[in-house]
Amino acid sequence: MFSSTGLLHQFCTAQSLRKILDRYVLHVEGEAAICNIANEAKKTHDELVDIREGGSLLEMVERKLEGQFIEFLNITQLIQLENHLYSLLRETGNRKTRVVMDNVAAMKEKEKQVRQENDAMEKKIAARMDAEDGERVNQGSHYNSPQASLWNGLLHLF
């Protein structure tokens, strides 16, 4: 079809309209993918800033080690991350050692307390045994009365 100025115009056919819409969909999907990548890069950057500011490296490592996080780091960032991980590992080991030592000290204190209780119980038992022995001696002195000595003497005669 020609316009009044003599230019050739073509109207869209079903085939050409489908091509136009396919290009549009590809363009929109591409922009969405770029936005997603940009958002992920921003999140990663924010997390790296948190690391530098003392954020929780362990949480970030747990979330990102499975993903593509490490691929975006340059060599200096990887070295810093490695050094930070080693320092956290040392801190964790030191903390574990302190906890174990505290537990050992608490167990020694408990052992000392149990020993003291055991000693006190042994003293009580010894005191009761001494008291029972004293009662037996006192009961035995009743047998040392004149009747008992006469009885004992008679037994020796036979």
pLDDT tens-digit readout, 108-150: 999 999 999 999 999 988 888 888 777 766 665 555 555 666 6
The answer, yes or no, to whether residue 97 has pLDDT greater than 80, is yes
How far is it, in rounded angstroms, from Cα 87 to Cα 91? Answer: 6
- Spell out the residues 6+ positions from residue 58 whose beta carbon is closer than 8 angstroms to its own: 88
Q: Cα 147 from chain centroid?
A: 81
Taking CA atoms, 57 is separated from 64, 93, 136, in Å, by 10, 16, 76
* Residue with more model confidence, 111 or 42: 111
Query: Residue 100's pLDDT band (boundaries 50, 70, 90)?
Result: very high
Q: Nearest CA to 64 among 85, 47, 50? A: 47
Helix, strand, coil share (%) of the chain residues, nearest 5: 85, 0, 15
Quote the strand ranges of 17-153, DSSP E: none
